[in-house]
Structure 1
């Protein structure tokens, strides 16, 4: 059964409350009471929509994944899409995955891997250097995993010391991928 507009609005308000809290607090430091206070709802209302705060965070991560997957193909360089996404959502991501042991680290890596796999199958990206690298690799699956983990390494670096400029990062990664393309 589809949710009513009121239910959709409440669920959106709860998600927005969590997003607001994640701008300033680590995930582990946020309580259900904090979320309810921010969303102006009763605790029972929270539990009507989510099992716990991890369920809520997973919903937010799914929404981020859909946002990244829906990135306009006019920004036809995958690295540009990813670096813009990371810099636009850095505080949120920083508070969700403060260290690589976080329960959300693997989810973000999987989002990147799924994006690379999806883009590699899309004709609009056939000239993208990253897609070319995946296609030319003797093992596209391993290359996709390698690239997703490389991007997660950057993300970790940004979380720990956000001094790298997004354009500098994009230029660096593009240069590396172009060199790898020449080596394969």
Structure 2
């Protein structure tokens, strides 16, 4: 994982703080700069626009969340715990009207992480299924899609289903996908 400098981290933290209170489509670069207590010129030194910051923030947060997880089940638990503790942030993130592809970006990040882990770690049955698949990239998308789909469904239902129940179902389906990939 790339080392992030303090300025980038401050902008990421500013965006996260704003997303706890305001939908993404209503957040401006000026608000991000004010929240981060940094100048607008600094923002554009590191990011093209607020969407670039968002993509880097999501990537950094997911990497940080799952970097210490040894299994796919651990990854699922880490993501669902984070979502559970930041429900308002995710509501403001996906309620965005001007960026309908946010789930596609999240799927891409999760899938890339699974694919890269499968190439270097083989201590998890799901990661083994990805690395042994005839189509490892497709398999990582299938598994990433399961995680992202569960997250979308959970949010659509206003988190009324317990995190434990969503995690159990998600893990079961991921294992089903990975086991069927081994049989082919």
TM-score in terms of structure 2 length: 0.75
Alignment of 1:83-94 (within 5 A): 83-89=77-83, 90-91=86-87, 92-94=89-91
Instruction: Find runs of 4+ consecutive structure 1 residues off by over 6 angstroms.
Output: none
Q: Kindly provide the CA deviation profile for residues 71-106 of structure 1, in whole angstroms up to 9, marking residues without a partner as x.
A: 232xx3x13322322331443444333379623322
TM-score in terms of structure 1 length: 0.75
For residue 107 of structure 1, what is the aligned residue in structure 2?
Answer: 105
For residue 42 of structure 2, what is the aligned residue in structure 1?
Answer: 45
1:143 corresponds to 2:143: no
Give the Cα separation in 1 of the matches to 2:39 and 2:14: 13
Give the Cα separation in 2 of the matches to 1:174 and 1:153: 12
For residue 4 of structure 1, what is the aligned residue in structure 2?
Answer: none
Larger-Rg structure: 1
Give the CA deviation at 1:53: 0.9
Q: Which 5+ residue runs of structure 1 have no aligned equivalent?
A: 1-6
**Residues 28 and 170 of structure 1, relative CA distance in 2, 3 Å threshold:** same
Q: Kindly provide the CA deviation profile for residues 108-135 of structure 1, in whole angstroms up to 9, marking residues without a partner as x.
A: 101221222233331222xx3x335546
Alignment of 1:8-157 (within 5 A): 8-73=5-70, 76=71, 78-89=72-83, 90-91=86-87, 92-98=89-95, 102-121=100-119, 122-125=121-124, 128=125, 130-131=126-127, 133-134=129-130, 139-157=135-153
RMSD: 3.1
**Residues 137 and 163 of structure 1, relative CA distance in 2, 3 Å threshold:** farther
Q: Which 5+ residue runs of structure 2 have no aligned equivalent?
A: none
**Residues 169 and 133 of structure 1, relative CA distance in 2, 3 Å threshold:** farther
Judge conservation of contact 2:154–2:166 (CA < 8 Å) in 1. Answer: no
* Paired residues, number: 173
Give the Cα separation in 2 of the matches to 1:154 and 1:106: 14
**Residues 36 and 171 of structure 1, relative CA distance in 2, 3 Å threshold:** same
